[in-house]
Structure 1
Amino acid sequence: MRQLAVFMVLAACAALGVAWWTEHELGIMPCELCLWERWPWRGVLAVGAVAAFLPVRWGRRALWLCAPLLVAGIGLSICHGGVEWGWWPSPLPACHAPHISGQTLAERLASMPLLPSKPCDAPTYLIPGLPVSMTVMGGVYALFVLVMLILSLYRQQKEKRRIFH
């Protein structure tokens, strides 16, 4: 069980690490939906870290909390992918227009963000020649981690039943 908890922590760190590297090392600004896609991974990281220190029975139960977080991450990826492919508009208002306020030109200029936000319908491709956006890769990765989590938890449950019967 502790190995699975550590796996979840490492999987979340990998997802967040790629996002950090893309933003800070490659200089690619995330859009608002990209920022939302990071939250489930933060939850998986927290749950995995806590589960690693809980007794086995409670740790296994805690790890089940990662499943809805990963499903939420997959859902956000599907939503963002649909926005990138033009299937529907972004549900977030920050993806549509900059928030500029003020009566005078000086007030409006002062309210503008220092860096322009990236539109949510502009995909980020990390691998040249591969037309799979970072959003889609993140969704596929979340699906992979979810499958690994569920298979591991069911396998542990099956072994537990075999031992006690």
Structure 2
Amino acid sequence: MRKPTTAHWLAFLLPAALLAGAWGAQLLGGLYPCQLCHWQRWPHYAALVLAGLAFLVPAGRARGALVLLAALAIAASGAIAVAHAGVEYGWWPGFTACTSTIDFTNLDPSQRLDAIMKAPLVRCDHAPWTLAGISLAGFNAIFSIAGAITILALMTRERA
């Protein structure tokens, strides 16, 4: 049984690290996730399971297929993160209930209060934390897409 490749290790460790960061930000930093944040996590969970299963199968097509699927799941998280970052930066409108487009201009005070009370607690169109102008969704997009491309490139090189 051949040892796992660099691509395999990256397909396992990248989503593990990104999920650890997300959970750390939530549990230690008090940055609670919105709906789109949760959507970004699901493909990473899938990638972690797929890459983990790949450790259990002999080297060959089955292992390669699992690592490939993990890379595609990581890329999917990156795509969701691009969509989320675009909502946060105001590039396009949000498409979930966690974005706010309340127009207060024609509302009386009781209607305004009602609109505020019905607004989601954690909004998808507001970045609660940034570093150098890049939100957590932006960082996930960068790391996930770059990681998926790297895994695919390594898979190609390691097969040759």
Normalising by structure 1, we get a TM-score of 0.77
Look up the match of 2:58: 55
State the alpha-carbon separation in 2 of the partners of residues 6 and 52 from structure 1: 9
Distance apart, 1:152 and its partner CA:
1.1
Secondary structure of residue in 2 paired with 1:2: coil
* Contact 1:96/1:119 (8 A) holds in 2: yes
* Contact 1:47/1:65 (8 A) holds in 2: yes
Report matched runs for 1:144-163 at 5 Å.
144-158=146-160
Percent identity reads 24
State the alpha-carbon separation in 1 of the partners of residues 17 and 27 from structure 2: 15
State the alpha-carbon separation in 2 of the partners of residues 155 and 121 from structure 1: 40
Normalising by structure 2, we get a TM-score of 0.79
Match status 1:79 vs 2:80: no
Secondary structure of residue in 2 paired with 1:23: helix
Q: Which of structure 1's runs of 4+ aligned residues deviate more than 2 A?
A: 3-7, 93-97, 124-127
Match status 1:34 vs 2:37: yes
Distance apart, 1:119 and its partner CA:
0.6
Give the paired residue count.
140
Cα offsets for 1:58-107 (capped at 9, x unmatched): 1012111123212211210111011111122221224449xxxxxxxxxx
Secondary structure of residue in 2 paired with 1:65: helix
State the alpha-carbon separation in 1 of the partners of residues 130 and 95 from structure 2: 24
Unaligned runs of 5+ in 2: 102-116
Look up the match of 2:124: 120
Unaligned runs of 5+ in 1: 98-111, 159-165
RMSD value, Cα: 2.0
Cα offsets for 1:95-134 (capped at 9, x unmatched): 449xxxxxxxxxxxxxx89xx631101113253xx11111
